[in-house]
Structure 1
Amino acid sequence: MIRVVFFDLGSTLIYFDASWLEVMPRAAAELTDALLRSGLNLPREDFTLRFLHRIQEYYQQRESEFIEYTTQRILQDLLAELGFFAPALLLRRALERFYGVTQSHWRAEEDAHPTLNLLLQQGRRLGLISNASDALDVHTLVDKAGLRGYFEQILISAEVGVRKPHPRIFQLALDYFGINPAEAVMVGDTLGADILGANQIGMRSIWITRRADTPDNRDHLDTIQPSATVATLAEIPPLLERWSSPSPESSA
């Protein structure tokens, strides 16, 4: 019996409606401008490019080590290397400008609210496990999409220090609900994070594919197998009902 359903956030419950390659430079420029307005004498274009490069380096690093550092730490370290000190409040305000640009492009999937409501009506409990380097950004996105009320727990890698598929973040989620892995399922769009992590700890996994056509997923198609594959969130409640059925045919 599946008692708890864990969801990924980005590209699962919400989607990005623009090109990251176009949005990230604008977001980084907003961050640099905020730092300049605070009195830091930074070379605008050079610092913007340096920040983008550092973020990209970190994104690649974390996919192999599964260790999560915060964006604020990355920004602070970069400024320190250039001889600048900025208090935490100033860094936070600059990051709010950065994430304000990206947040404006996230949208809730049309079937997110109906699906989550139906799962609650089925008597299931819900949790969110998100890989992200800024916890406040995740909380803002959750609130912007009106999703907070569905979830008993919101677990963010920036607060835990490790990313999916690291087993620790999944174990923390299970411990919160006081359940064993067989009583939970993970829903997500990323084979190498959501599905692999769930599989390794003994949970069932549901891969949602409508926004999953990425190079990383294509690399894992033959090596990471979900318990089930769906194209939309709306398919999940009836799937879980079939899993709960004692009939061998309906649980296949």
Structure 2
Amino acid sequence: MDIRAVLFDVNGALIDIQTDERMEEVYRAISHFLTYQGIRLHRWEVCDLYFAVMKEQFSANRETYPEFDVVEVWREVLRRVATDYTRTLPPDKLETLPLFLAEVQRGIARKRLALFPQELEVLDRLKARYALGVVSDAQTAYAVPELRAVGLHAYFQTIIVSGDYGYRKPDARLFQKALDALQVDAAKAIFVGNDRYRDIFGAQQVGMKTVWFCSGLHPNNSHAAEPDYIVYRFADLPEAVDFLAAR
């Protein structure tokens, strides 16, 4: 098989990450920050309002696999609790506050952000032979900065993030957007992911070959789809790609 591209999921497949968006410290910090914007809320009021607005956003979304927009969630939170003082803040500050809150929320919620062993060596080998891309169920507000933080951003010719489109994997359109950006046919591409439903089933819908990376961060949905190859270490990925390319 003439393989031209290898595409990846991010969390659990490219990045060893752990977060806790319900962590009390997240909303304590945001609550304290908001007092300087003229907004006085208890940390649990901030938390409850954030998740209520997110739920509303999901409910209003008519996609089969809906995705939320974290920046717009925080924008709506601010709109609902803004005081007269808040509305006197400089327009530039008001415009950037939702993104800032999304970044602060993610930064405090993050417990681990690391690469898998030998990952850069593997990506160097793959980049020399194939176009590389990303299709991630995430938010650009933190997915792209996290890729940069661990030194991965420059490896990829295209990065597709579900939060920018309002729908998430396994929606085939996300995979197709990445393939179109790389100008590669699905039959000549491999997708690497840690989720057998969102990643493996999703990529198979458009005709891609698939590698399931059992990274220890994979959800328990093993019944969802059968991958073409399974790896338990990132270091074994070149072997998987070579095997599929030879078929």
**What's the TM-score bracket when you normalise by the shorter of the two chains?**
0.7 to 0.9
Cα 1:46–1:92 change in 2 (3 A) is same
Superimposed CA distance per residue, residues 166-190 of structure 1 (whole angstroms, 9 cap, x where no aligned partner): 1111111111111211001110111
Alignment check: 8 A CA contact 2:24 2:43 kept? no
Task: State the match for 2:243 in structure 1.
Answer: 242
1:116 aligns with 2:123: yes
- Paired AA for residue 189 in structure 2: A
1:102 maps to which of 109, 112, 118? 109
1:20 aligns with 2:20: yes
2: CA distance between counterparts of 1:44 and 1:93?
17
Alignment check: 8 A CA contact 1:32 1:94 kept? no
Superimposed CA distance per residue, residues 177-223 of structure 1 (whole angstroms, 9 cap, x where no aligned partner): 11211001110111121111101111111111122443xxx3x3224
Task: State the match for 1:180 in structure 2.
Answer: 185
Cα 1:103–1:88 change in 2 (3 A) is farther
The normalised TM-score by structure 2 is 0.84
1: CA distance between counterparts of 2:58 and 2:227?
24
Task: State the match for 1:67 in structure 2.
Answer: 66
Q: Name the SS for the 2:23 alignment partner.
A: helix
Cα 1:60–1:210 change in 2 (3 A) is farther
Number of aligned residues: 237
Alignment check: 8 A CA contact 1:165 1:194 kept? yes
Task: State the match for 1:165 in structure 2.
Answer: 170
The percent of aligned pairs where both chains have the same amino acid is: 24
The normalised TM-score by structure 1 is 0.82
- Paired AA for residue 37 in structure 1: Y
2: CA distance between counterparts of 1:28 and 1:110?
33
Task: State the match for 2:91 in structure 1.
Answer: none
1:128 aligns with 2:127: no
- Structure 1 residue 26: Cα displacement: 2.0
1: CA distance between counterparts of 2:147 and 2:72?
23
1:154 maps to which of 138, 145, 159? 159
1: CA distance between counterparts of 2:117 and 2:59?
31
Alignment check: 8 A CA contact 2:30 2:43 kept? no
- Structure 2: gaps (5+ residues): 88-93
1:51 aligns with 2:60: no
- Structure 1 residue 145: Cα displacement: 0.5
- Paired AA for residue 128 in structure 1: V
- Structure 1 residue 150: Cα displacement: 1.0
Cα 1:207–1:49 change in 2 (3 A) is same
Cα 1:223–1:146 change in 2 (3 A) is closer
Task: State the match for 1:145 in structure 2.
Answer: 150
CA-based RMSD: 2.7
2: CA distance between counterparts of 1:228 and 1:5?
14
Cα 1:206–1:88 change in 2 (3 A) is same
Alignment check: 8 A CA contact 1:103 1:141 kept? no
Cα 1:213–1:158 change in 2 (3 A) is closer
Alignment check: 8 A CA contact 2:209 2:244 kept? no
Alignment check: 8 A CA contact 2:201 2:224 kept? no
Q: Name the SS for the 1:187 alignment partner.
A: strand
